[in-house]
């Protein structure tokens, strides 16, 4: 039955009702589509903004450290994902630009228009601070820094001080960005540099070589590794002989010669030969992966000055709010805004990260990479420096210090014969022999029918004579006679920490070449500088007592640890710590990694084992020990710089309070003084960038 008397009216009303219903539905759909589209656009815009910040702003903030960090990353690796804190900071900096533009555009109009253009966006940017302030009051039952920040911004935005509010947003955002870049992003980019492992590997199944995905390997399978390939698993050689570069894992520059039954490890590289490896561990079970995981879990350290600033700021909140309330009564909103703007500690919270960044950049200009700012603080407490001997105080390439004849052949001829065979080899001992021969003006002749037995020695023909150069083991395998007097000489040489390479002509050893580890040219001067700083210096070495004592005396060091096995290095560090000492360990190699993690602070050389580089808090990128005294100097100067910043933060605050209560200082005057103190703090924080220019130090002679 129709609702109205006239059916036509009823039909018209029904049509209008249906049209309205459809309209509401379409409007709802349009609203949802608009909301979804707006969210997508916001995500795209934010991604573009983050890209701009990452590519344009972050490298500027990192300075030369950005280049050093990139050196430690694997080629082709994508940049690390932004943390939530970084995304939020980037977003707030972008919104600050928008807010500042709105404040400038509406400044001539003022009034409600300016308020409506600025206050809602400012409120959105402060929502997290407001939540933190609420938690501080309701849950923590204290007046923390978020409370004062909320009160300050509320007064600023509701009182029309939009320019000052924008400046506070900008300065706080920049300080936060710098802090994140130097302490979070840089650490995240210090990637696991154990080398890229292949996606496919070659396995030997029923005598047939087959390629399979690396992640499908099972324990017990046979893996074929050719020269130039990275070993992707831990295992044992089941067949073949190879020269393996283990530098990434052990820090030893000289290749290790491997044969049947010898263990091999993931992330090492086969330089020569072909081997079949029986798989024992793969994936995350390998030694390299376990070390990488351990290093990635290393705790991050923050600069204590930042914690001190936060503590100082929190303690000042109560008195500041009380002072603001009194100023509101005596001087109105302008006085209250002036008092709340003097957030004691805020200057340090901004200038502190900038100072840290400046000193990190100053260190980078000296070829020093610090992984976090906490290393500077640890340097200030160090009273003992422990040097590993091999690869740290000494260079990889030894020096020929003697040629001993066991026949009628002259020493010069013995050295020339050895150099002839070694001239095409690239390991440190070969380079040392060839270099010595050239320095003595000896002729290096060509060779014929050359044969290299990996792990043993070299054999070649010179003037119809078969010349052999290598170890005692090689000579025994070749059936060459070794004079007993030469064997006694070899034992005496080994007792001093030197090594011996034997030279044979036809079927008899004619002499031996003595090689001595090469002391770094800057080592003695560096030790002297550390001793003048009243630091205790130790040497840790696996050598015998005699050579270790001789090296210590040569360097002017009174204390040393000799005959130390790899596992014992960390024990010696712990012993020193139990005596109340704060220890800095300087070393390289996997054998040093445990000692480095045990020490209060650790320093590694670039080019040493990646395990040491990742474990160490500080890396000397040019492997020059001269950088170590500079490190201690930078640490002292950072402490002085932060103390100066503290004075620049506190003194103007006292002046502003006095001006508000006794001289009727207004918001603009207070803001001017506060801004001046802030920028003086920033100027003080960037002083190291002007003092420490990139400068050259005497280069090390490694490999020369």
Q: What pLDDT does 51 receive?
A: 74
503 & 561 share domain: no
How far is it, in rounded angstroms, from Cα 218 to Cα 278?
10
Cβ atoms of 623 and 607 within 8 Å: the answer is: yes
Domain assignment present for residue 638? The answer is no
**Residues 464, 492 share a domain:** yes
Same domain, 79 and 184: yes
Is 210 in contact with 242 (CB distance < 8 Å)? no
Could you tell me if residue 686 is inside a domain?
no
DSSP string for 616-661: -SEEETT--TTHHHHHHHHHHHHHHHHHHHHHHHHHHHHHHHHHHH
Domain count, the chain: 5
102 plus 18 within the same structural domain: no
Domain shared by 505 and 555, yes or no: no
Domain CATH for 213:
2.70.150.10
Residue 495 lies in a domain: yes
Single out the residue of 249, 251, 207, 254 nearest to residue 230, CA to CA: 249
Are 556 and 500 part of one and the same domain? no
The pTM (predicted TM-score) of the whole model is: 0.63
| Confidence at residue 697, expressed as pLDDT on a 0 to 100 scale | 42
| Coil, strand or helix at 83 | coil
The tokens of 266 are what?
């993931």
**Which residues does 423 contact at the CB level (< 8 Å), separation at least 6?**
430, 434, 444
Question: Among 623, 656, 684, which residue terminates a domain?
Answer: 623
Same domain, 548 and 619: yes
CATH code at 423?
3.40.1110.10
Q: Are 286 and 233 in contact (CB under 8 A)?
A: yes
pLDDT of residue 342: 78
Model pLDDT for residues 181-232, shown as the tens digit of each residue: 655 544 444 334 344 567 788 888 888 888 888 778 888 889 898 887 888 8
Q: What is the pLDDT of residue 406?
A: 87
Q: Are residues 448 and 544 in the same domain?
A: no
Residues 391 and 525 in one domain: yes
Q: What pLDDT score was predicted for residue 27?
A: 57
Residue 286 and residue 384 share a domain: no
Q: Are residues 76 and 103 in the same domain?
A: yes
Residue 384 pairs in a beta bridge with 536, 583
10-residue mean pLDDT series, the chain (704 residues): 55 63 59 61 68 69 57 54 74 84 83 84 85 86 83 82 80 70 49 56 85 82 85 87 70 68 82 86 66 45 61 79 86 81 72 78 80 81 91 84 90 92 82 92 78 70 87 87 87 80 91 89 93 94 79 90 81 93 84 83 70 69 87 91 86 85 77 78 82 54 36
Please, is 466 exposed, middle or buried when counting C-beta atoms within 10 Å of its C-beta (0-12, 13-18, 19+)? middle
Domain closes at, from 451, 485, 516: 516
In a domain, 654, yes or no: no
- The residue segments making up the domain with residue 98 are 71-189
Which residue bears the tokens 């990488």?
292
Q: Are 243 and 256 in contact (CB under 8 A)?
A: yes
Domain boundary residue among 623, 647, 680? 623
Give a yes or no: residue 613 inside a domain. yes
The pLDDT, as a whole number, for residue 701 is 38
Alpha-carbon separation of residue 348 from 323, 642, 691 (angstroms): 21, 8, 21
Reported in sequence order, the residue ranges of 186-319 that DSSP labels E, i.e. its strands, are: 200-205, 208-213, 222-225, 234-245, 256-258, 263-264, 269-281
Write down the pLDDT at residue 287. 58
Q: Is residue 657 part of a domain?
A: no
- Helix (H) and strand (E) counts for the chain? 26, 20
Check residue 1 and give its pLDDT. Answer: 45
Q: How many Å apart are CA 362 and CA 457, to the nearest integer?
A: 47
Instruction: With respect to residue 146, please indicate whether it lies within any of the assigned structural domains.
Output: yes
Q: Do residues 501 and 548 both lie within one domain?
A: no
Per-residue pLDDT at 394 = 84
Q: Is 215 within the bounds of a domain?
A: yes
């Amino acid at each position: 039955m129709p609702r109205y008397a006239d059916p036509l009216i009823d039909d018209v009303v029904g049509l209008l009702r249906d049209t309205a219903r459809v309209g509401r539905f379409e409007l709802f759909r349009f609203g949802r589509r608009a909301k979804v589209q707006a969210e997508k656009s916001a995500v795209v815009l934010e991604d573009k903004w983050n890209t701009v910040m990452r590519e344009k702003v972050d490298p500027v903030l990192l300075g030369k450290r950005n280049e050093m960090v990139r050196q430690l990353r694997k080629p082709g690796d994508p940049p690390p994902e932004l943390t939530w804190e970084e995304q939020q900071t980037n977003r707030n900096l972008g919104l600050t630009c928008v807010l500042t533009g709105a404040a400038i555009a509406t400044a001539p109009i003022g009034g409600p228009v300016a308020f409506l253009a600025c206050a809602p966006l400012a409120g959105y940017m402060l929502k997290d601070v407001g939540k933190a302030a609420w938690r501080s009051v309701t849950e923590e039952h204290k007046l923390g820094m978020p409370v004062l920040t909320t009160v300050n911004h509320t007064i600023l935005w509701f009182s029309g001080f939009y320019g000052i509010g924008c400046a506070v947003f900008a300065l706080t955002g920049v300080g936060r960005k710098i802090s994140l870049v130097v302490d979070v992003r840089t650490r995240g980019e210090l990637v696991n540099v154990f080398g890229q492992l292949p996606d496919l590997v070659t396995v030997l199944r029923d005598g047939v070589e087959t390629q399979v995905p690396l992640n499908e390997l099972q324990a017990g399978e046979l893996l074929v590794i050719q020269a130039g390939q990275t070993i992707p698993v831990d295992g044992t050689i089941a067949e073949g002989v190879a020269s393996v570069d283990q530098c990434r894992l052990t820090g030893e520059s000289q290749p290790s010669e491997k044969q049947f039954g010898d263990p091999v490890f993931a992330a090492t590289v086969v330089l020569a030969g072909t081997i079949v490896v029986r798989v024992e561990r793969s994936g995350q079970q390998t030694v390299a992966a376990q070390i990488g995981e351990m290093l990635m879990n290393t705790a991050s350290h923050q600069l204590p000055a930042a914690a001190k600033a936060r503590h100082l700021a929190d303690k000042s909140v109560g008195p500041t709010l009380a002072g603001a309330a009194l100023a509101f009564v005596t001087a109105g909103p302008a006085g209250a805004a002036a008092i709340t703007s003097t957030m004691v500690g805020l200057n340090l919270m901004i200038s502190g990260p900038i100072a840290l960044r400046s000193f990190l950049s100053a260190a980078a200009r000296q070829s020093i990479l610090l992984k976090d700012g906490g290393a500077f603080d640890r340097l200030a407490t160090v009273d003992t420096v422990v040097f590993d001997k091999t690869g740290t105080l000494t260079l990889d390439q030894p020096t020929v210090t003697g040629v001993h004849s066991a026949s009628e052949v002259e020493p010069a001829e013995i050295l020339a014969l050895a150099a002839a065979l070694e001239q095409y080899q690239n390991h440190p001992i070969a380079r040392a022999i060839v270099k010595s021969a050239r320095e003595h003006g000896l002729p290096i002749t060509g060779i014929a029918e050359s044969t290299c037995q990996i792990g043993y020695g070299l054999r070649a023909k010179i003037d119809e004579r078969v010349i052999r150069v290598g170890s005692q083991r090689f000579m025994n395998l070749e059936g060459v006679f070794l004079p007993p007097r030469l064997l006694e000489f070899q034992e005496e040489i080994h007792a001093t920490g030197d090594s011996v390479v034997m030279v044979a002509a036809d079927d008899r050893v004619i002499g031996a070449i003595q090689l001595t580890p090469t002391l770094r040219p800057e080592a003695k001067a560096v030790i002297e500088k550390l001793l003048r700083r009243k630091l205790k210096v130790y040497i840790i070495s696996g050598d015998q007592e005699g050579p270790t004592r001789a090296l210590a005396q040569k360097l002017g060091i009174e204390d040393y640890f000799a005959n130390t096995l790899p596992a014992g290095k960390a024990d010696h560090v712990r012993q020193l710590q139990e005596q109340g000492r704060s220890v800095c360990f300087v070393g390289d190699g996997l054998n040093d990694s445990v000692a480095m993690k045990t020490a209060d602070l650790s320093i590694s050389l670039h080019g040493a084992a990646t395990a040491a580089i990742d474990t160490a808090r500080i890396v000397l990128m040019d492997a020059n020990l001269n950088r170590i005294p500079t490190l201690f100097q930078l640490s002292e100067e950072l402490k002085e710089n932060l103390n100066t910043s503290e004075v620049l933060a506190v003194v103007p605050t006292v002046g502003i309070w006095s001006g508000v209560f006794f001289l009727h200082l207004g918001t603009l005057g207070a803001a001017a003084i506060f801004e001046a103190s802030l920028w003086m703090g920033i100027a003080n924080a960037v002083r190291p960038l002007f003092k420490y220019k990139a400068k050259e130090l005497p280069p090390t002679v490694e490999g020369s």
